[in-house]
Structure 1
Amino acid sequence: MIGAARILNGVFRAMGQPGVIGEIVAGLMLGPSLFGHFFPGISLSIFGAKASPPITMLSQIGLILLMFQIGADFEFGHLRSAKMKRATLLIAIGSIVVPFGLGLWLGFASQPSIAPSIDPLTYALFCGVALAITAVPILGRILREFELTRTPIGVVAISAAAINDVVGWVMLACISAYATTMFSTTFLLWRLLAIGALLLVLRFPLSPLADWLVRRYPVVDGRLPANLMAAVLCLTFALGIATYQIGIFAIFGGFACGLLFHRHTEFVAAWHRQAGHFTLVFFLPVFFTFTGLRTNLLGLAPSDLGWLALVLAAAIGGKLVPVFLAARTAGFDTNESSILASLMNTRALMELIVLNIGFDLGFLPQTMFTMLVVMAVATTLMTGPLLKLLLPRVGHVVLRAAEA
């Protein structure tokens, strides 16, 4: 897993793509889409019939730690202006409402031919969430590789994507509950109250606690004290458990914990040196392979290509157009708005998580599951070339990304 991810990371970087895209492709290639198809016996002996519990757990740990790093890199300064706040809100709304509506339409239109045995509303709702989601972890990696994490465009993009994903996961929890006859007004109210309570806990007891920990165990010679690292890990995973119980996925606990430490720049730099590279090199390939083992891209028949084209058009147009218009409305120029639209079109493996949930619950058939996987990979592959084309137009020099 680690070797395949490193090799494809280098290959894709040589082609001008972010290395993380190569790691995603490596994970898919190790599954039934390639390795498992041509060497089923070897694949079965290495990975088993399905992803084993250790692979599942390691993949979740990797995502949580990655989201901690993304949160720690977060720059709130740009959001102090009214323009940035307005832009974030408008882009978040546009990136959710329009693609969700298109996904609903696509679901109802395709249900008779693709999912005749599945409840039309449940199927359409899952299609809506699948088109609405934006991949915060991969977007964060792309922002880092293009050195956009502390720019106004990068901060607005990751902020809007975070709102997008929180809303998306709440919607997914409600849809799953509806589909399994557990949904109620009380269920939705509890989710919203729990999120509000978590925000209060982050702001009051935990934010001062993070400041105290950094003062109590200061960074010495660019290295983190063991006690500080242990305390941060405990807090990160505790918040991961909390957000998982709320129903918005454990990775947001890691992101929230990173936000608590983002203003301590010396700590953030030391964390990247001591823990960051290990997270990227070891944990993330496990997550990519975990998803790849459950994805079979060869399951798409030629007769499905028309629906696939429609899925791609709805997914790409449903993100690019409303985000571009929202950014223009918020005061960004044409090039900046195009960059934001390209960033918000990134779906990657957050999309695959949603698809796997729908597939496991029996509300997405194999054909639509495969189409949406193709869409997730295609929309993510678009991001790198578009950024290389658009960033020089706003004066941002695109250097060959550092090894990551």
Structure 2
Amino acid sequence: MDTHQTTSLLVGLAALVVLARLLGVLAQRLGQPAVIGEVLAGIALGPTLFGGAVTDALFPDDIRPLLTALAAIGVAVFMFIVGFDWDAAMIRGSGGLAASVSLSSILLPFSLGMLLALHLMDDYGTGDRTAFMLFMGIAMSITAFPVLARILTDRRMNRTPLGVVALACASIDDVLAWTLLAGVVAISGPADQEQWRIVLAVPYLLFMLFVIRPLLRRYAARRPELRLTPATFAFVLAGLLLSAAATEWVGLHYIFGAFLFGVILPRSGVERLRDEVQDRLGQMNGTLLLPVFFLVAGLNVDLSGLGTSGVGALLLILLVAIGGKFSGAFLAARLNRVPVRQSAALATLMNTRGLTELIVLNVGLQMGFLGPDLYSLMVVMAVVTTAMAGPMLTWVVGRPGQDSGRLRIKDDDAERMVDTTI
């Protein structure tokens, strides 16, 4: 890099960080997750507004490969944190309700998404018909566990029965969605002379789960109150990057390796370590690297030429995305004898897509499953479904403190009510 490139990169990053922070705070003031404002900051710098003139001035073409590299690191770190936060104990403690709601809220939107892909095939389809259909099904099935957790925390519902069930449902959704996406990438990814490497994905998964994971547990058990020392921090960073590199090399996307490394880290006795990882790694990632990802994602969003047909396609996408996810979760909850109000609350929360959806959409764009036009419409869907979650939840269960944490489950003879103070 020469002096001009270095100067442009540093100035552009400073402007991006400030803009993302300002719009993030504004979103929070409006009762929205900060990620909404940060995503809009990325879109605002893209070609949708002013023909991309702002981005051309701040980020010339010769430094954009550097932005893509920074965005990749940010996504890898984010996926690691998601995996580190994922806890199977939530699923075990929620009984069959979470499993049935999760499966239904995946299967119905997945099926509707594939049907939608058939309808959109002529205008937006890619070369691989099967991959396009499968990917659209996955994109309609996503629930963003981190954003959902943030909404529940802000409303002081994360420890209520309703909140615990919603988090369990979202965690199952995450694992199912990532598994489906990994399968689609493995089957339909670009063919090359090194495609044989994909057969190493299963041995790598087994090695991480049954060799590395027990070793890490033994290490943590010998060191009670493990803290994030410089050596531990270096190990965590190196581990997530190497795991991400391994899955990228075998033919899966690097996000799966980063997520897997977070999943295999010990859970018991490392509560302080988890908090410190969130504080140090998460804060830096959320302040600098993820806004870069939003910028890179926004550079591929162009709504300036959206015509009547595009608006029609967008409305249909929103109908399938919102209706499929809501109906699947709501019907499953009702079949488990959860009353209408609580069933609607669960279904509303499961419609939260956020950053997770953007990561999936960018994988689809990179792998050729989505074209630029449909990608732009899908990003709008991700923003809309995330923005509507908070207001919809308030409409369904009321504001915090208005009995919104109770979860009543009816059986044949009586009504059980799990109550908690919020």
Taking structure 1 as the reference length, the TM-score comes to 0.80
Per-residue deviation, 1:291: 0.8
2:125 and 2:290 map into 1 onto residues whose CA distance is: 37
For 1:133-176, what per-residue CA distance to the aligned partner results, in whole angstroms no more than 9, with x for missing partners?
Answer: 33345445545544555551343133223223222322431452
2:20 equivalent in structure 1: 5
Q: Is the 8 A contact 1:70 1:140 kept in 2?
A: no
Q: Does residue 227 of structure 1 match 2:231?
A: yes
Correspondence list, 1:169-248, <5 A: 169-174=181-186, 176-177=188-189, 191=201, 194-201=204-211, 203-212=213-222, 214-215=223-224, 218-219=226-227, 224-245=228-249
Correspondence list, 1:260-299, <5 A: 260-263=265-268, 264-299=270-305
1:119 and 1:267 map into 2 onto residues whose CA distance is: 44
With over 3 angstroms needed to count, the CA separation of the structure-2 counterparts of 1:165 and 1:204, relative to structure 1, is same
1:51 and 1:130 map into 2 onto residues whose CA distance is: 30
Q: Is the 8 A contact 2:114 2:134 kept in 1?
A: yes
Per-residue deviation, 1:322: 0.6
For 1:253-295, what per-residue CA distance to the aligned partner results, in whole angstroms no more than 9, with x for missing partners?
Answer: 4444444244322222333343332222122211111111121
1:108 equivalent in structure 2: 118
1:206 and 1:352 map into 2 onto residues whose CA distance is: 31
1:86 and 1:188 map into 2 onto residues whose CA distance is: 34
1:27 equivalent in structure 2: 42
2:316 equivalent in structure 1: 310
2:415 equivalent in structure 1: none
Specify every segment of 5 or more residues in structure 1 that has no aligned partner in the other structure, as ranges. Answer: 398-404
Per-residue deviation, 1:9: 0.8
1:67 and 1:116 map into 2 onto residues whose CA distance is: 28
1:400 equivalent in structure 2: none
Partner SS for 2:304: helix
For 1:214-236, what per-residue CA distance to the aligned partner results, in whole angstroms no more than 9, with x for missing partners?
Answer: 54x844xxxx3222222222223
1:361 and 1:193 map into 2 onto residues whose CA distance is: 23
Per-residue deviation, 1:128: 2.2
2:111 and 2:198 map into 1 onto residues whose CA distance is: 20
1:52 and 1:93 map into 2 onto residues whose CA distance is: 40
Partner SS for 1:298: coil
The one-letter code matched in structure 2 to 1:27 is: G
1:275 and 1:30 map into 2 onto residues whose CA distance is: 26
Q: Is the 8 A contact 1:16 1:384 kept in 2?
A: yes
The one-letter code matched in structure 1 to 2:313 is: W
1:197 and 1:341 map into 2 onto residues whose CA distance is: 37
2:89 and 2:385 map into 1 onto residues whose CA distance is: 29
1:119 and 1:255 map into 2 onto residues whose CA distance is: 27
Q: Is the 8 A contact 1:336 1:394 kept in 2?
A: no
2:30 equivalent in structure 1: 15
2:132 equivalent in structure 1: 123
With over 3 angstroms needed to count, the CA separation of the structure-2 counterparts of 1:123 and 1:66, relative to structure 1, is closer
1:401 equivalent in structure 2: none
Q: Is the 8 A contact 1:72 1:258 kept in 2?
A: yes
Q: Is the 8 A contact 2:90 2:164 kept in 1?
A: yes
Q: Is the 8 A contact 1:157 1:343 kept in 2?
A: no
Q: How many residues align?
A: 383
With over 3 angstroms needed to count, the CA separation of the structure-2 counterparts of 1:133 and 1:201, relative to structure 1, is farther
2:78 and 2:126 map into 1 onto residues whose CA distance is: 39
Per-residue deviation, 1:388: 3.3
Seq. identity, %: 33
Q: Which of the two has higher C-alpha Rg?
A: 2
Q: Is the 8 A contact 2:48 2:303 kept in 1?
A: yes
Q: Is the 8 A contact 2:102 2:170 kept in 1?
A: no
Task: Choose from 28, 33, 43 the match for 2:55.
Answer: 43
1:377 equivalent in structure 2: 383
Q: Does residue 60 of structure 1 match 2:94?
A: no
With over 3 angstroms needed to count, the CA separation of the structure-2 counterparts of 1:116 and 1:89, relative to structure 1, is closer
2:4 equivalent in structure 1: none
Task: Choose from 82, 106, 111 the match for 1:96.
Answer: 106
Specify every segment of 5 or more residues in structure 2 that has no aligned partner in the other structure, as ranges. Answer: 1-15, 407-422
For 1:55-78, what per-residue CA distance to the aligned partner results, in whole angstroms no more than 9, with x for missing partners?
Answer: 222222223333343444445444
1:250 equivalent in structure 2: 254
Taking structure 2 as the reference length, the TM-score comes to 0.77
1:402 equivalent in structure 2: none
Per-residue deviation, 1:387: 3.1
Q: Is the 8 A contact 2:300 2:376 kept in 1?
A: no
Q: Is the 8 A contact 1:129 1:172 kept in 2?
A: no
1:170 and 1:133 map into 2 onto residues whose CA distance is: 14
The one-letter code matched in structure 1 to 2:376 is: T
Q: Is the 8 A contact 1:300 1:370 kept in 2?
A: no
Q: Is the 8 A contact 2:107 2:328 kept in 1?
A: no
Partner SS for 1:383: helix
1:134 equivalent in structure 2: 143
2:411 equivalent in structure 1: none
2:206 and 2:98 map into 1 onto residues whose CA distance is: 19
1:188 and 1:131 map into 2 onto residues whose CA distance is: 26
